[in-house]
Amino acid sequence: MNEEKENIMKTQLLIALKFFLVMTVLTGIAYPLMMTGLAQLCFPSKANGSLIMKNGKIAGYELIGQKFDSSIYFWSRPSAVDYNPVPSGASNFGPTSSKLQKQVSERRMLFAARNSITDLASIPKEMIFASASGLDPHISPEAALCQLNRVATARNFNAVQKQKIHQLIKGMTEGPQYFIFGEPRINVFKLNLAVDNIR
C-alpha cells in the first residue's frame, strides 16, 4: 500500500514538474518573444521607447518630460521629482497643505514674472501644479502661447521668426487622444527642438 502511494506521489510530482516546465517555456519565453515581435512589427517607435533622435543620437523620449529652465526654451510642467523617471510620482500634498500652497504661489509668481504676465488668474493651471507622474511631457497650447514672447525675446528673434514659433505651436498641437480622451496638448521637448531649427 505504501509503495502504491509512493508511486502515485512520484507520478503527481512528475506531472507537476512537466506542467511547470511547459508553462515556463510558454509564459516565460514564447509569449514574451511573440509580444516583442508583434510590438516591433506593429508599433516599432513605441516598442523602442518613443525615442527622439537628434544628429543621430538619442536626445530624449517623447513620453517623458524633461526639465527646461532656460529663457530660450518653453518650460515643461513642474515636477515633484525633478523629472527623474526612477522615482516618478507626485508630492502627495493635500489641498489644505501649506507646503503645496507655498509651492503653487512661488511657481505662479515666477511664471508671471519671467513671462511678463500681469493677470495671475490667466496662468494655465498645468504651469503651477505638478502632474501625478512628475514626468508629463505635454502642456496646453495656451501655456505655450504664454511663453512665446519670452522665448522669442531671449533668442533675439524678429517678427517673422516669432510668427514661425506661433505656427509651430499651432501645427504641433495634438488633439484629444482618439478624439475623446484628454485636452489639446503640445509636446514641450519636440517644440523646443523645432524652435532650435528656426533660422
Which whole number is the average pLDDT over 65-70? 88
- Convert the pLDDT of each residue in 73-109 to its tens digit: 999 999 888 888 888 888 888 888 899 899 999 999 9
Please state the rounded mean pLDDT for residues 58-80: 88
The pLDDT of residue 173 is: 94
Pair 75, 127: CB distance under 8 Å? yes
Q: Give the three cell numbers for residue 52.
A: 527622439
Please check whether residue 165 is in contact with residue 151, taking contact to mean a CB–CB distance below 8 angstroms. yes
How confident is the model over 153-191, as pLDDT tens digits?
999 999 999 999 999 999 999 988 888 888 999 999 999
Helices (H), 43-140: 44-47, 98-114
Confidence of residue 64 (pLDDT cuts 50, 70, 90): confident
Q: Where are the domains of the chain?
A: 2-46, 51-196
User: How far is the CA of 192 from the CAs of 8, 51, 137, in angstroms?
Assistant: 69, 15, 12
Say what the pLDDT of residue 182 is. 84
* pLDDT, mean of residues 115-127: 92
pLDDT of residue 54: 80
What are the tens digits of pLDDT across the range 22-58? 999 999 999 999 998 888 888 887 777 777 878 888 7
Determine the pLDDT at residue 1: 60
Residue 187 confidence (pLDDT):
94
Yes or no: say if 106 and 155 are a contact pair by the CB < 8 Å rule. Answer: no
Residue 52: per-residue pLDDT:
80
Dist. CA 57–CA 80, nearest whole Å: 28
